[in-house]
């Protein structure tokens, strides 16, 4: 099986190169070889590589910058996924695409399900919703995963920012009235591979037409916290580990005291019931995942085998 992976240098894409390797031959592309702003290049690369599966982990993720350049965000997050879906449909390939909790307005008082109405508040959120709509409008049968508050030990993300600022400053003010579920990129990648493996016969590792699903799934860690709660957990673990020197104290603040160009949903916790029921994918609580990420990362392998692959999906 041939797998075309976009966004290989991103947080999720980096991890996917490892988790997808046992399933087939991977063609991993970064922006230097596959720029989603160039739709003709997208078509050419897909046709030349001729994949059985396309995993689109590339995205425009500069949430605030998107307010100043919405056309670029729409091109990368909206139009390009539609082209990938068209090419997938033309050759009967399976498409896996990642979207975001920012497609929701954040007014819910309970975790969002896949059936809930969207209402993005920002140009970034609108561009990601545009991508979902473009993919759904094609003849492809994709899997779309909503992820949220993604972090990793590499790249630019909240975890690494807090680790840096905690050493540089005496006090950090962090928003405490936006709630979500921090999710380690490695868990998203492992869960993606687990889902894909269950859609493929182990003898052939070729896509099964009858097993394809045109479905939307939420894929995040369990439970919820605020950005302040997430930052507190990060610094607590830094103090427990030791060797970081003097660390900043934290002060919770409301969103109004930390204005940004883009509006964020106040509540974007996602319900993972559908993916748990259909694929047996169960991710841990966000704080357990943080322990795995900041502790012995090699422990994640045994954890994944025990939690992600421990159930088969129910009979159809």
Instruction: Kindly state whether residue 148 falls inside one of the protein's structural domains.
Output: yes
**Per-residue pLDDT, 176:** 97
Instruction: Kindly state whether residue 116 falls inside one of the protein's structural domains.
Output: yes
Instruction: Kindly state whether residue 109 falls inside one of the protein's structural domains.
Output: yes
Q: Write the CATH number for 193.
A: 3.40.50.720
- Identify whether the C-beta of residue 111 lies closer than 8 Å to the C-beta of residue 96: no
Q: Nearest CA to 278 among 211, 186, 210?
A: 211
Structural domain of residue 17, as residue ranges? 2-307
Instruction: Kindly state whether residue 236 falls inside one of the protein's structural domains.
Output: yes
Instruction: Kindly state whether residue 204 falls inside one of the protein's structural domains.
Output: yes
Instruction: Kindly state whether residue 83 falls inside one of the protein's structural domains.
Output: yes
Distance CA 79, CA 85 (A): 10
Please give the chain's pLDDT, 316 residues, in tens. 899 999 999 999 999 999 999 999 999 999 999 999 999 999 999 999 999 999 999 999 999 999 999 999 999 999 999 999 999 999 999 999 999 999 999 999 999 999 999 999 999 999 999 999 999 998 888 999 999 999 999 989 999 999 999 999 999 999 999 999 999 999 999 999 999 998 875 544 444 444 445 589 999 999 999 999 999 999 999 998 888 889 999 999 999 999 999 999 999 999 999 999 999 999 999 999 999 999 855 544 544 544 554 333 333 2
**Per-residue pLDDT, 201:** 59
Catalytic residue set: 124
Instruction: Kindly state whether residue 312 falls inside one of the protein's structural domains.
Output: no
Distance CA 83, CA 88 (A): 8
Let me know if 25 is exposed, middle or buried by CB neighbors in 10 A (0-12, 13-18, 19+): middle
Q: Would you call 73 helix, strand, or coil by DSSP?
A: helix
Which residues, in sequence order, are CB contacts of 57 under 8 Å at separation 6+? 5, 6, 7, 8, 10, 12, 13, 16, 98
**In DSSP terms, which residues pair with 184 in a beta bridge?**
151
How many domains does the chain divide into? Answer: 1
């Amino acid at each position: 099986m041939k797998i075309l992976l976009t966004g290989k240098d991103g947080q999720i894409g980096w991890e996917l190169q490892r988790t997808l390797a046992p399933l087939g031959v991977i063609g991993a592309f970064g922006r230097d070889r596959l720029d989603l702003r160039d739709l003709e290049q997208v078509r050419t690369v897909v046709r030349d590589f001729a994949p059985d599966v396309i995993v689109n982990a590339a995205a425009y993720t500069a949430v605030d910058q998107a307010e100043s350049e919405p056309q670029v965000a729409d091109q990368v997050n909206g139009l390009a996924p539609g082209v990938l879906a068209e090419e997938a449909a033309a050759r009967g390939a399976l498409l896996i695409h990642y979207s975001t909790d920012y497609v929701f307005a954040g007014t819910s008082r309970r975790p969002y399900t896949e059936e809930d109405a969207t209402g993005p508040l920002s140009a970034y959120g609108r561009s990601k919703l545009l991508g979902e709509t473009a993919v759904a409008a094609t003849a492809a049968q994709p899997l779309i995963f909503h992820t949220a508050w993604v972090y990793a030990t590499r790249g630019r993300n909240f975890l690494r920012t807090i680790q840096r600022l905690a050493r540089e400053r005496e006090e950090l003010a962090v928003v405490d009235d936006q709630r979500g579920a921090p999710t380690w990129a490695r868990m998203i990648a492992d869960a993606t591979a687990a889902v894909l493996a269950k859609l493929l016969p182990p003898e052939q590792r070729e896509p099964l037409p009858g097993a394809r699903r045109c479905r939307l799934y939420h894929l995040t860690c369990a439970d919820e916290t605020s950005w302040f709660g997430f930052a507190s957990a990060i610094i607590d673990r830094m103090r427990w580990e030791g060797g970081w020197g003097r660390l900043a104290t934290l002060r919770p603040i409301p969103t109004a005291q930390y204005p940004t160009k883009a509006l964020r949903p106040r509540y974007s916790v996602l319900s993972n019931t559908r993916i748990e029921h259909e694929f047996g994918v169960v991710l841990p609580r966000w704080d357990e995942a943080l322990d795995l990420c900041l502790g012995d990362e090699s422990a994640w392998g045994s954890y994944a085998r025990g939690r992600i692959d421990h159930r088969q999906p129910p009979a159809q």
